[in-house]
Amino acid sequence: MAEYDIPTLKEEIEKETVEQVLALDVDKYKYGFETKLEVDRAPKGLSEDTIRFISAKKEEPEWMLEWRLEAYRRWLTMTEPTWAKVHYPRIDFQDMYYYAAPKGTNRPKSLDEVDPALLEMYEKLGVPLKERELLAGVEQPRVAVDAVIDSVSVATTFRAELNKMGIIFCSISEAIREYPDLVKQYLGTVVPVTDNYYATLNSAVFTDGSFCYVPKGVRCPMELSTYFRINEAKTGQFERTLLICDEGAYVSYLEGCTAPARAEHQLHAAVVELVALKDAEIKYSTVQNWFPGDKDGKGGVYNFVTKRGDCRGDNSKISWTQVETGSAITWKYPSCILRGDNSSGEFYSIAISNGYQQVDSGTKMIHLGKNTTSRIISKGIAAGFSDNTYRGQVSAHAKAKGARNFTQCDSLLIGDKCGAHTVPYIESRNASAVFEHEATTSKISDDQMFYAMQRGLSEEEAVALIVNGFVRDVLQHLPMEFMVETQKLISISLEGSVG
Partner 1 sequence: MNAIVRLGPAELTLIEQLKNLGAHAEAERLTAAGLPTRRVESYHYTDLKALLRSVPELGTAGGAGAPHFDIPGTWRVAIVNGAIGSPIGAPHGVTAGTVSGSVLTERDDMLVRLNSALTQQSLSLEISGDIAEPLVIDRQFAGEAAHVATGAKIFVADGAKVTIVEVYSGSEAAHLGNHATYLAIGKGAEVTHITLNLMDKAATHFATNEYLISESARLRTLAIQAGGALSRTQLLPRYVGKGAYADITGLSLVGDGQHADITMDAQHAVPNTSSKPLFKSIARGRSKAVVQGRLVVARDAQKTDAKLMAQGLMLSDEAEILTKPELEIYADDVVCGHGSTCGRLDDDHLFYLMARGIDKITAETMLVRAFLAALVDPIENQSLKAALTGVIDGWLENA
Q: How far apart are the first and last CA of the chain?
A: 23
Considering only residues 154, 167, 249, 439, which one is a binding residue for partner 1 as defined by CB under 8 A? 439
The strand pair at 250-258 and 419-428 is best described as unpaired
In angstroms, the CA 148 to CA 129 distance is 12
Considering only residues 41, 57, 295, 443, which one is a binding residue for partner 1 as defined by CB under 8 A? 443
Q: 216 or 437, CB closer to partner 1? A: 437
Please state the closest distance from residue 350 (CB atom) to partner 1, in A.
18
In angstroms, the CA 108 to CA 302 distance is 31
Q: 159 or 437, CB closer to partner 1? A: 437
Size of the site for partner 1 (CB under 8 A): 36
In angstroms, the CA 448 to CA 412 distance is 14
Q: Answer whether 51's CB lies under 8 Å from 70's CB.
A: no
Number of helical H runs and strand E runs in the chain: 12, 24
Q: 173 or 411, CB closer to partner 1? A: 411
- Tell me if 370 contacts partner 1 by CB under 8 A: no
- Tell me if 352 contacts partner 1 by CB under 8 A: no
Contact map string, positions 244 to 273, toward partner 1, x by CB under 8 A: ------------------------------
Residue 19 C-alpha from the chain's centroid? 26
**Sites for partner 1 among residues 371-400 (CB under 8 A):** 398
- Is 434 strand, coil or helix? strand
Q: Answer whether 335's CB lies under 8 Å from 307's CB.
A: yes
Q: Can you say whether residue 59 is alpha, beta or left, with left for phi > 0 and alpha for psi between -120 and 50 degrees?
A: left
Helices (H), 127-269: 159-164, 172-178, 180-186, 197-205
- Tell me if 123 contacts partner 1 by CB under 8 A: no
- Tell me if 11 contacts partner 1 by CB under 8 A: no
Alpha-carbon distance values, 46 to 36, 49, 98 (Å) = 25, 8, 7
Q: 166 or 415, CB closer to partner 1? A: 415
Please state the closest distance from residue 414 (CB atom) to partner 1, in A.
7
- Tell me if 438 contacts partner 1 by CB under 8 A: yes
- Tell me if 19 contacts partner 1 by CB under 8 A: no
Q: 16 or 40, CB closer to partner 1? A: 16
Please state the closest distance from residue 421 (CB atom) to partner 1, in A.
5
In angstroms, the CA 43 to CA 29 distance is 30
Q: 231 or 353, CB closer to partner 1? A: 353
Q: Side-chain half-sphere of 80: how many Cα atoms within 13 Å?
A: 13
Contact map string, positions 23 to 62, toward partner 1, x by CB under 8 A: ----------------------------------------
Q: How many residues does the chain have?
A: 499
H or E stretch covering 50? helix 48-57
Q: 163 or 432, CB closer to partner 1? A: 432
Burial per residue of 393-408, b for 16 or more beta-carbon CB atoms within 10 angstroms, e otherwise: bbbbbeebbbbbbebe
- Tell me if 451 contacts partner 1 by CB under 8 A: no
In angstroms, the CA 336 to CA 313 distance is 13
Q: 297 or 415, CB closer to partner 1? A: 415
Q: 10 or 177, CB closer to partner 1? A: 10
**Sites for partner 1 among residues 403-432 (CB under 8 A):** 411, 413-432
In angstroms, the CA 139 to CA 184 distance is 39
Please state the closest distance from residue 495 (CB atom) to partner 1, in A.
21
Contact map string, positions 82 to 111, toward partner 1, x by CB under 8 A: -x----------------------------
Q: 258 or 411, CB closer to partner 1? A: 411
Please state the closest distance from residue 455 (CB atom) to partner 1, in A.
23
Give the residues lining the site for partner 1 (CB under 8 A).
Answer: 79, 83, 398, 411, 413-443, 445
